[in-house]
Structure 1
């Protein structure tokens, strides 16, 4: 049965309102006030990157599982991060139009799309073959042509595309990976959620000459990225 045109208009209006509410009620209150970042969140349609079964939760202030069961998706880090976390990382990394960006953990491709909206080019690595295809198809459907999703383990596999202006980890790690810091060019920034539960901090590292400057401006607890080193729990 074909739906009348006004029904499609109603759906479009409801989706636009839900996106507006996400920005105004979740993201602005989290100190995301940069207008370019907010414009990006309005332009990139989050609902186009959400699994079909979760369309009704596209703008919810929660992590969305990208596989099932939910507990396994969370344990393996196969989730879309909450919109406010992605927005704050995007703002704090100060993406420039000439930036080359590396993302670890493509997931659904949504963060890659946000980054690509601001940057010159994005390389996004994903360890799960099914999510590689899901992210690629989402980016194609959304008309994003300056983001490449590749199947690779960002913790272990060689990364030969550097140097990068920005490295983004779309998940948490116990400590900042030195192998990824080495991929930053002068002035480059790395953004990650770092630490152990119940305390993780957003960590922004900027390369300055031969050294690095680190800022930890906010807290968030998000699922782990796979295969990055964990501290030993053994004690004498």
Structure 2
């Protein structure tokens, strides 16, 4: 049995994880523990949201269930620290838990590389000053953002209430013809059930936050299962294991 733990801030789209568990089938458990902090897409609030003590406190709720790896399931609460800061964040988490660890921001970079993608469009829910930090993070990972849209949504709770049709419009309306993939970087947005539709409409890979977070968790433990129901990323398998 593959068991991966996810540290998820607050409450918004955490039901994407049991949904992914059902898609992946038998032999996998995706455990979610909620962390606390202010629900605000602002740099200072996000730096606090990703503080080490919050992640460790959340992991203590996962520990009794025996996860084999742990992922900080928050894009903005990791990339806001910059590449080196996000690396330190997951290194400290790995040391504190004794497990392979990563975060959604690194998951996006690894997923793009796994698909051979170097030029992307980003359809972000965040305000521009936050979204621009994601662009910088991707650049440090060798990914060029050729188109960025910022929806300017202030809280994760608001993102979690978006109807499916709004998510589809956000994706379809903010692609770029030269982009090799579209990235939607907010774990507060429900996207897992929409991946086949999104990729069909855009005609290219779509990488979304909860999708890549699960993929990264499986990769950390060497679980290479694939499925045709979670986008092009999961048709590739999850590659080799290892931290960050």
Structure 1-normalised TM-score? 0.37
Which has a greater percent of helix? 2
Structure 2-normalised TM-score? 0.36
By relative contact order (CA 8 Å, sep 6+), the higher-ranking structure is 2
Which has a greater percent of strand? 1
